């Protein structure tokens, strides 16, 4: 005789794609955030609440997050977006400030950002419908070089540049080597333009590191 509770059990088919990776590729969230959704009981497979991120998705599974059906991952796409100053790079800001996603065209599918630019920064931001791709591009091990144009107020001497190139520690956090060059057109006056390249990119890294050497960033592109 079959156990009547069997109808509430999920089968774990061989092969397939892990559920967290599937949700990331579908553009729902990052793989890590998908695992949190599962822990919170917000993910269903074929009408049954999922309790483990070890589940692998088969072709016929119906996936829902918060009761809404998850569409199968589309072909991976990437968009370039020029982020102006004054927008927050987050899907929902608790302070109610305008976000990058508020300003996107209405016909754009659900996308996530590859990394972030803070509210006072501007410039190139990559958006994608594939959360797994975003995760890969954000990993420090990927080694992508991110270049910034920086208008700095304060004396940016050769000694300061040498210190930044070797890496420094600020408030107990170690910041790695920076590729720093001074704009040839900088006059050496109150404001100077720098070009800074990073391969890691911690939160507000350029502002914090320059602030530690008494240089104020008043524009970051």
The whole-angstrom separation of Cα 166 and Cα 95 is 37
89, 99 Cβ separation under 8 angstroms: yes
- Structure letter (DSSP) for residue 71: P
What is each CA distance from 15 to 59, 68, 130, 176, 213, in whole angstroms?
A: 11, 25, 21, 40, 53
What is each CA distance from 71 to 23, 103, 132, 182, in whole angstroms?
A: 9, 24, 16, 48
What is the Cβ-side half-sphere exposure of residue 64, based on CA atoms within 13 angstroms? 11
Q: Which one of the listed residues 46, 102, 107, 118 is annotated catalytic?
A: 118
What is each CA distance from 80 to 65, 112, 128, 140, 143, in whole angstroms?
A: 28, 12, 9, 21, 20
Residue 183 among the catalytic residues: no
What is the Cβ-side half-sphere exposure of residue 204, based on CA atoms within 13 angstroms? 11
Residues acting as catalytic residues: 118
């Amino acid at each position: 005789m079959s156990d009547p509770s069997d109808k509430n059990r999920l089968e774990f088919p061989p092969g397939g794609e892990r559920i967290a990776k599937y949700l990331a590729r579908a553009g729902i969230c990052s793989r890590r955030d998908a695992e949190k959704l599962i822990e919170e009981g917000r993910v269903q497979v074929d009408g049954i609440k999922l309790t483990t991120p070890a589940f692998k998705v088969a072709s016929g599974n119906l996936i829902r997050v918060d009761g809404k059906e998850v569409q199968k991952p589309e072909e991976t796409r990437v968009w370039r977006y020029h982020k102006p100053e004054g927008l927050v790079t987050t899907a929902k800001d608790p302070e109610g400030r305008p976000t990058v996603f508020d300003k996107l065209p209405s016909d754009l599918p659900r996308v996530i950002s590859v990394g972030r630019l803070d509210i006072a920064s501007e410039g190139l931001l990559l958006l994608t419908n594939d959360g797994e791709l975003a995760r890969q591009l954000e990993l420090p091990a990927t080694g992508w070089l991110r270049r910034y144009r920086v208008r700095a107020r304060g004396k940016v001497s050769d000694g300061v540049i040498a210190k930044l190139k070797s890496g420094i520690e600020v408030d107990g956090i170690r910041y790695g080597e920076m590729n720093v060059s001074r704009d040839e057109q900088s006059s050496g006056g109150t404001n100077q333009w720098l070009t800074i390249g990073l391969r890691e990119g911690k939160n507000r890294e350029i502002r914090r590191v320059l602030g530690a050497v008494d240089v104020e960033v008043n524009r970051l592109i």
